[in-house]
Every structure is written in structure tokens, then in C-alpha cells.
Amino acid sequence: MAKYKISKNGVGSIPKGETFIDDSAFKMCKKLTSIVIPDGVLCIESEAFSGCINLKEITIPNSIEYIYSHAFAGCKELTSIVIPESVKSLHRYLFPDCDNLSSIVVDEENNKYDSRNNCNAIIETESNTLLHGCANTIIPDSVTEIAPGAFTRCKNLTSISIPNNVKSIGNGAFFGCENLNNIIIPESVKFIDSEAFARCNSLTTITIPDGVNIAENAFEGSPCNNKGKKLTKEKKSTVTFSYEGQLDFYIDGECTLELTSKELELFKKFNQQAKDEDADDILAYFEEQMPESLYDKIEAAINNQIRYNDSEEMIEQEGINCFPEMSQKVFDSMTMEELIERYMDDNCDGIYEFIIENIEINE
């Protein structure tokens, strides 16, 4: 600390010619209220301003290339920060316990990071990973991963919307967000890492879709936990629907799907709308109106059923002729289900063009 000075009014200074701000340079310095880092400084080392609870303003010059972990941790009065064009590397856990941080901006000319759509966050541009956020962060739809520690101990964060492109939530991403009380995990999320929501004291319920891989201690110390207490998993119901339509001939059949209550509600809604509007092809109508994930489920179910029925009919008519490389002995030993699966793999790679004129939903 000896080489770093603080004036009587709390303004910090860096010696001329310095290119690094050392580890813990101003750590726990309660007198520090503002600092302008001079041009020419390349690096802010770990915990350089950690625990500076009265630091309100910091100006980072367009020479800084590296900022290391916990550089600003515990700067409770810091309200905004601008990351300049020059920054090439940001370590994790930059802003834990920055209780009043509400504005995070990355210079538009920075090639490595961005704060797209005025999101109040730092995003790694190439990977679409959100690295650092604050209480005012709005996660853009283009984000695919929330990095470890992204919102660690962000005490003023009460709720946040995770978009349906996020695939993973990293270790400690929301650790210690003690006022976070509302969050919905979208179906795109496949993995929630350890301590992702640990010690979120106000998080009493959370909705998680089926199929998400959750680390054992992801909710450790939170009212929600991995054992299911106050942790609600989105229920799915089995829905059967029948269809009628045209291929080169009249087709009909019955399919079974597992849908969430929301998906079932949308299925019913758009099916009724299609009928009310006299749609010639209900599936084509669905494709234009429905969420893509729901449409894909319905279309795949009908397509597979059509392929299955057509395969069975062909095998019954042609028998062993459908399998030029199979011996009669092997053919005779296989069940119809096994033969259909084999035939579909070998002969039904393409998707039939079909028109669905009617769907009836039976819960």
C-alpha cells in the first residue's frame, strides 16, 4: 500500500509509470471513495480494490488489458463500471458483494466482450457466455451459458428471467443471492452445476423441467433443495391424439405424447384456432404459430407413426423381399416390431410430405 496514495478527500492515486496495480493494492481501504487509473496501466491484479466499501467511482483507462478475480469484490457503494475497448481478459468473480452496482457497460469497440442490448452485463462475445451480471441485468436471448460466479452474492437481485437458449448454469452462478425469490428454469437448460443457487435464502420454490442434470449441492443452504422439499418439477401428462389427412392416399392414426401443462394448453389453443380458421393443413398452421419445440414434438410423432404404419403394411405385403440381405431363417426369427425397426432404419430416412386435416386431442 505504501506506494499508493489517498488524499484527504478520499481520491486514490497510482504512481506515474506503473503498469500493474498490485494484488490487494487498496484492499479494505475504507477511506478510498474514487480513483482514476492513469493511462498506461495494463493490469488490475486480484483483490486490488476488494473491500473498499466506500469506493463510488472508478475510471478504467483504455490501456487496461487484464482484470483479475475479486478485483472489485465488496465495493458496496460502486454503482457503475465501464470496461474499455483494450480489455482482453476478465477473470471470474469480479463483483461479489457489490450491492449497489446497477450499470455494467462494455465499450462497443471491444472485440472480446460486449454488453449487447444494454443488458447491464459482460458477455464473452464468441461463446455467448454471460460472465458478470448485476441486479439490473436482463439476460439477452442470445446467451447460451451463465458462467460460474456470474451473479455471486448479488444481494439486490430479486428475480431474473433466463432465456430459452441457455444450456448450462455454472458453479456458484447465483451463490448467495439472498433476496432472489423468483426464477424459472427453461427447457433449454441441461445442467445446473454445484452451488449454482446455494444460500439463496429467499428462494422457496423453483420450477425445473424434466431432464435437467442437477449437481448434488446445487441448492445447498437454500429453502429449495435437491431432495425435492419446496422444489417443484414441472409435471408432464400423457396425451393421446388422433389425426386424419392425406399422403398419396387417406391416412389416419393415433399418437401418444408427454407434454407439460403449458404445452398441452398451447396444443389445444392452436388446434382450435386452426379449426376456427378452416386451415387446410393443420401442421402447416402449427409450424407458423406454435413454439418450435412443441411443433417439432407433434410433427415427429405423426411422422413416425405414418412411417411405422407404412412399414408394417409393406412388410406384410412383401415379406422377406423387403430385406435383400437377410436370410429367411433370420427373417422368420424376428418379431414384427423388430422387422419394422430394421425396415425403417434402412428404407425410411426421408420425411413423407403429408397434409393433416384434422386432430382430435384426448387427455
pLDDT of 271: 87
Q: pLDDT tens for residues 259-280?
A: 877 788 888 888 898 888 888 8
Report whether pLDDT(359) > 80.
no
Q: Whose CA is closest to 102, among 133, 136, 132, 54?
A: 136
Report whether pLDDT(351) > 70.
no
Q: Of all helices (H) and strands (E), which one includes residue 242?
A: strand 236-246
Coil, strand or helix: which one is 108?
coil
Query: String of b and e for 319-355 (b: at least 16 CB within 10 Å)?
Result: eeebbeeeeeeebeeeeeeebbebbbeeebeeeeebe
In whole angstroms, give the CA distance from residue 127 to residue 319.
Answer: 52
| Prediction pTM value | 0.64
pLDDT of 114: 97
The grid cell for 324 is 435383400
Report whether pLDDT(215) > 90.
no
Q: Compare 245 and 55 and report the one with higher pLDDT.
A: 55
In whole angstroms, give the CA distance from residue 165 to residue 170.
Answer: 15
pLDDT of 196: 93
pLDDT of 225: 61
In whole angstroms, give the CA distance from residue 21 to residue 40.
Answer: 11
Length reported for the chain: 363
* Range name among 141-155, 209-223, 236-250 with the lowest pLDDT average: 236-250
Q: What is the mean pLDDT of residues 241-258?
A: 76
Residue 355 contacts residue 281 (beta carbons within 8 Å) = yes
Q: Where are the domains of the chain?
A: 236-362
Q: What is the mean pLDDT of residues 128-133?
A: 96
pLDDT band at 328 (very low <50, low <70, confident <90, very high): confident
* Range name among 61-75, 129-143, 292-306 with the lowest pLDDT average: 292-306
The grid cell for 116 is 449487447
Report whether pLDDT(363) > 70.
no
pLDDT of 167: 94
Q: pLDDT tens for residues 60-106?
A: 999 999 999 999 999 999 999 999 999 999 999 999 999 999 999 99
pLDDT of 235: 64
Q: pLDDT tens for residues 144-169?
A: 999 999 999 999 999 999 999 999 99
3-state helix, strand, coil in the chain (%, to 5): 20, 20, 55
pLDDT of 227: 38
DSSP 19-55: -EEPTTTTTT-TT--EEEPPTT--EE-TTTTTT-TT-
Report whether pLDDT(181) > 50.
yes
pLDDT of 259: 83
pLDDT of 230: 47
**All residues at 6 or more sequence positions from 43 whose CB lies less than 8 Å from its CB, including other chains:** 19, 20, 21, 64, 65, 66, 67, 68
In whole angstroms, give the CA distance from residue 14 to residue 16.
Answer: 6
In whole angstroms, give the CA distance from residue 60 to residue 66.
Answer: 11
Sign of torsion over alpha carbons 204, 206, 210, 214: negative
pLDDT of 174: 96
* Range name among 26-30, 40-44, 77-81, 330-334 with the lowest pLDDT average: 330-334
pLDDT of 293: 80
pLDDT of 283: 82
Q: What is the mean pLDDT of residues 302-330?
A: 76
Coil, strand or helix: which one is 345?
helix
Task: Read off the DSSP letter of residue 159.
Answer: B
Residue 142 contacts residue 164 (beta carbons within 8 Å) = no
Q: Whose CA is closest to 147, among 161, 127, 119?
A: 127
pLDDT band at 284 (very low <50, low <70, confident <90, very high): confident
**All residues at 6 or more sequence positions from 312 whose CB lies less than 8 Å from its CB, including other chains:** 336, 340
Residue 184 contacts residue 205 (beta carbons within 8 Å) = no
